[in-house]
Structure 1
Amino acid sequence: MSSYLAKQQAAFKSDAMSAAPKVATKRNLAPPAPESAPSPAPSNASNASKSESKDPKRKREVQNVVYSQPAATGYGMEAFTQVTYVIEFLKKKNEPKTFREILEYLSQVNADERQKRLIARILLQHERVYHTPDPNLKVQSWDSGTFEHKPIINVRTKKDLIAYLQTKADAQGVSVKDLKDGWPDCEDAIDQLEAEHKILVTRTKKDNHARMVWGNDPTLHHDVDSEFQVMWHEIELPSVDELVRKLQDAGQKPASEDPSKRIKAAPKPKEKKKRAPRRGGKTTNTHMAHLLKDFSHMKR
C-alpha cells in the first residue's frame, strides 16, 4: 500500500514540475486593462450587428439628413445685420432710396431672392424706416416704392424746432441727442436760437455742449442798463450771520439756518409695557368646586 501511495506522490510531483513553465509563461503576459480605462469604441457595423442579434424586433433609427442644402443658412441674422447698415445709409443720405439702390449699397444685387425678400420685409416693418408706395403701380410688389429714414424727432430746421417746442403739452425738455438723429448739425442753430432768447438750453460742464432744450418767450427778456448793473454790484450786503440775527430779532425764521445746528430735544425714554394678567381658561371641573376651596384661613 505504501508503494502505491509513493507512486501517486511521484506522479503528482512530475506533473507539477511539467506544468510549472507553462503557468509561468501565461503569467508573464500583459496584465488586463483596468476597469476605469475606457474600452475602444466599436465600429457602427459591429454595434448594429450586436443590437440586431440581441433584439431582432428593434428597428434602427433613421436620421433625416438632407444633403441637397446646408443645415443652417443663417439668413435671419445676416438680414438683420444688413438692415442696420441700411438705416445708417438712409440716415446719412437723408433722402428716399429705392430698394434697388439699397441692394447696390449692400452689394446684394445678385443675392438669393429669398434673402432679398427678407430684407425688404424687415424694412417695411421697422419703426425707424418710412416707406412710400410707388404711385405708378396699382398693386405694390415686395420691392416697390422708396425707403426713407424716420428720425426720433422730425425736426430739421430752426422753424421746425420752435414749432415742435410750442406744440409740447408738458414742460419736459427735448434731448439734443434725439434731435441729432434727424438733424446732425443742429448745434449751430441751437446757439443762434439761444442768443435770440427763443429757447433755453442746458449744457455739459466739460465741453459746454447743448444737452437739453426748452421753449422760451423772447418778449419776457429785458436788457438791464450796464450802469445799473455796476451800481447793483457795488452795494455792500450784510454778512450771512448778521442777516440771520436780524431775522431772528424780527421773529422770522431765516432760510439759511443750518438745520444741523438746531437744538434737538432729548429723546424720551421708552416706557416698558406692562404685561396684561393672564386670563384663566374655561373651568370644566365645576362639580369639584367644593373640594377646591381655600380653607387655609381656618387654621389656628
Structure 2
Amino acid sequence: MDPALLREREAFKKRAMATPTIEKKIRPEPPAPPKDDPRKKMRPPTAPKLDASTYKTMSGSSQYRFGVLAKIVKHMRTRHQDGDDHPLTLEEILDETNQLDIGNSVKNWLQTEALINNPKIEVSPDNRFCFKPVYKIKDGKSLMRLLKQHDLKGLGGILLDDVQESLPHCEKVLKNRASEIVYIIRPIDKKKVLFYNDRTANFVVDDEFQKLWRSVTVDAMDDAKIDEYLEKQGIRSMQDNGPKRNPIAKRKKAQSKKRQFKKPRDNEHLAHVLETYEDNTLTQKGASVTG
C-alpha cells in the first residue's frame, strides 16, 4: 500500500478524534391513554359568549344611545298625534317608553345634549320636553287658516306628511274638511300636497275652450318656443310677467380734459397785454407791447 495514503489515513483519524460530537438521544414515546380516559373527552375552554342584552346596556355603545333616543322621539310624536301635548320630564318619558333601566351616563346625555339639540323635541323653561311639530295646528280651523295664508302669500301647498305629523286626529279632521281642500299628487316623489280650495275662483268654462285647451300639447316646449309659436300665429305673448328691475345707469363718458380759456374778471386794465397759449399757437389780444 502507498505509504502516502497511510499517512493521510492516520491524519484523518487524529482530526476525527479531536473533533467533539453530540449524540442525539431518542426519547421514548409516552404510552397511549386508554379508550375510556376522561381527559380525551375534555374540550379546550372557549371565551364566554356576549349576551345581546348585555351589549345593548353598555354605557359606551353609541348605537344603544341613539336607539333610546329614537324610541323617545317616536313615542313623543305618537303622543302629539293622539292629542297629548303636555310636556313631560325625562323620568316620565323613560317610564312611558319602558326604559327606566338605562345607565346614568345615558340619562345625562339625554338630559343635557340629545333631547335639547333634537329638532323634533321642544324644551320648556321648567326643563320638560314635548314634541315639536312642523306646523302649530291643533284643529280644523287652524289648518284652514294655515292653508289660506299659504294661498294668499303664494307659498304653495303643504305636504300631507307634515300635516299628519302636526295635526292631532288628522284623519278625522281631513275627512270633515274634504270639501275645502284640494289634493295634488307631486309627480317627483308621488307625495300628496294640500291646497286651499278657493271657491271664489271657480267659474264655468265653455266646452269649446276646454277642447282647444286640451288639444294643445306644450310638454316638450320651453317658454322661448311657445313665444315663437304665438308670434307666428299673430298672438303677442306677455312679456312683463317677471319682477321689474331698475335699469342700471350707464356711466357717462369722461369729458375731454381740454382746458377752455376763461375771460379774466379782474385786472381789466391789463387786458391789452394778456396772452393765451392754445393749440401750441401764440395769439395776442390787444395792442402789442413795445420796449
The TM tier, using the shorter chain, reads 0.3 to 0.5
TM-score (norm 2): 0.46
TM-score (norm 1): 0.45
